[in-house]
Amino acid sequence: MSNLKIEKGSSRRSAYDLRDPNADTIERHTLAVIVDNEAGVLARVIGLFSGRGYNIESLTVAEIDHTGHTSRITIVTTGTPAIIDQIKAQLGRIVPVHEVHDLTVEGASVERELALFKVSGEGDKRVEALRLADIFRANVVDSTLKNFTFEITGSPEKIDAFADLMRPLGLTEMARTGVAALARG
C-alpha cells in the first residue's frame, strides 16, 4: 500500500480533502473485473465510477463463459494510489462482482486494443498510408478508389502512434474497442 504523505499544518484546500494532489502521482491501472452477466451489472460498475468521480479511460466488456454467464470487464482508469485502492475496494463490494484484478500491479500483462481507421487520399499520400500500415502490421479490410480501411491491433500507445501518422495522410474516421488485457504466463 502506498503512503499518502499527508502534510501536517495548514492548507487552503477543502478541510475534508485529505488527498494532497501533489503528494501522489497519478497512475494508470488496468483492472480486470469478473462479474455475473446479469441485467444492470455494467450500469452498477459505470455508476460507481461516475457517482464517486473516478476516471474511465477505456472499458470493454463481453461474456467469457456462456454456461456460467460470467463476463470480463476490462477497465483502464487513472488516479493516485489511494484512489486506485478505493476503486478496487468499491468494485469488490458490488454483489455480482466475483474478482477484481489489478493487472498493472499483479505482474506482467499483455494489453491489446483493436482499431479501425478510414484514410482517404490520392496519389503519394495513398501509397505512403499503405507503406506505414505495412510497418505497423495493419491490415487493409476494405478499400475503394478513395478510401482504405485499416485494421490494427496493439497496445493503446501503438494505436495512438499510428493515428498520429495517419492524420496528415487523410484519416477521416476511427473506431477503437478499448483495451483487452490478460496477465502473462
Partner 1 sequence: MTQPITGAQMVVQALKDQGVDVVFGYPGGAVLPIYDEIFLQNEIKHVLVRHEQAAVHAAEGYARSTGKVGVALVTSGPGATNAVTGLTDALMDSIPIIVLSGQVPTFMIGNDAFQEADTVGITRPCTKHNWLVKETDALSGVIHEAFHVARSGRPGPVLVDIPKDVQFAAGTYTPKVKANTSRYQPKVKGDPEMLSRLAEAIATAKRPIIYSGGGVINSGPAASQLLRELVDETGFPITSTLMGLGAYPASGEKWLGMLGMHGLYEANLAMHGCDLMINIGARFDDRITGRTQDFSPNSQKAHIDIDPSSINKVIRVDMPIIGDVGHVLEDLLRIWKSQGRKTDKAALSKWWAQIDEWRAVKCLEFKNSDTVIKPQYAMQRLEALTKDRDRYICTEVGQHQMWAAQYLGFEEPNRWMTSGGLGTMGYGQPASMGVQMAHPDALVINVAGEASWLMNMQEMGTMVQYRMPVKQFILNNERLGMVRQWQELLHGERYSQSWSEALPDFVKLAEAFGAKGIQCADPKDLDDAIKEMLDHDGPVIFDCLVEKHENCFPMIPSGEPHNKMLLPNAETQNQITAPGAVLV
Residue closer to partner 1 by CB (options 47, 168) is 47
Q: How far is the CB of 72 from partner 1 (least distance, A)?
A: 16
Residue closer to partner 1 by CB (options 25, 144) is 25
- Residues of this chain that bind partner 1 (CB under 8 A): 1, 3-4, 6-18, 36, 39-40, 43-44, 47, 51, 82, 85-86, 89-90, 92-96, 98
SS3 at position 127: helix
| ∠ Cα 164 57 137 (to 5°) | 40
Residue closer to partner 1 by CB (options 60, 86) is 86
Q: How far is the CB of 57 from partner 1 (least distance, A)?
A: 22
Q: How far is the CB of 66 from partner 1 (least distance, A)?
A: 18
Residue closer to partner 1 by CB (options 51, 185) is 51
Q: How far is the CB of 160 from partner 1 (least distance, A)?
A: 33
Residue closer to partner 1 by CB (options 96, 178) is 96
Tell me the H-state helices in the chain: 41-51, 81-93, 123-135, 156-166
Residue closer to partner 1 by CB (options 70, 147) is 70
Q: How far is the CB of 106 from partner 1 (least distance, A)?
A: 17
Q: Which residues, other chains included, contact 19 with Cβ-Cβ below 8 Å and sequence gap of 6+?
A: 4, 80, 82, 83
Number of H helices and E strands in the chain, helices first, is: 4, 8
70-79 and 97-102 beta bridge pairing: unpaired
CB count in 10 Å sphere of residue 162: 23
CB count in 10 Å sphere of residue 101: 19
Q: How many Å separate Cα 165 from the centre of its chain?
A: 21
- Per-residue cell: 170: 487523410
Q: How far is the CB of 34 from partner 1 (least distance, A)?
A: 11
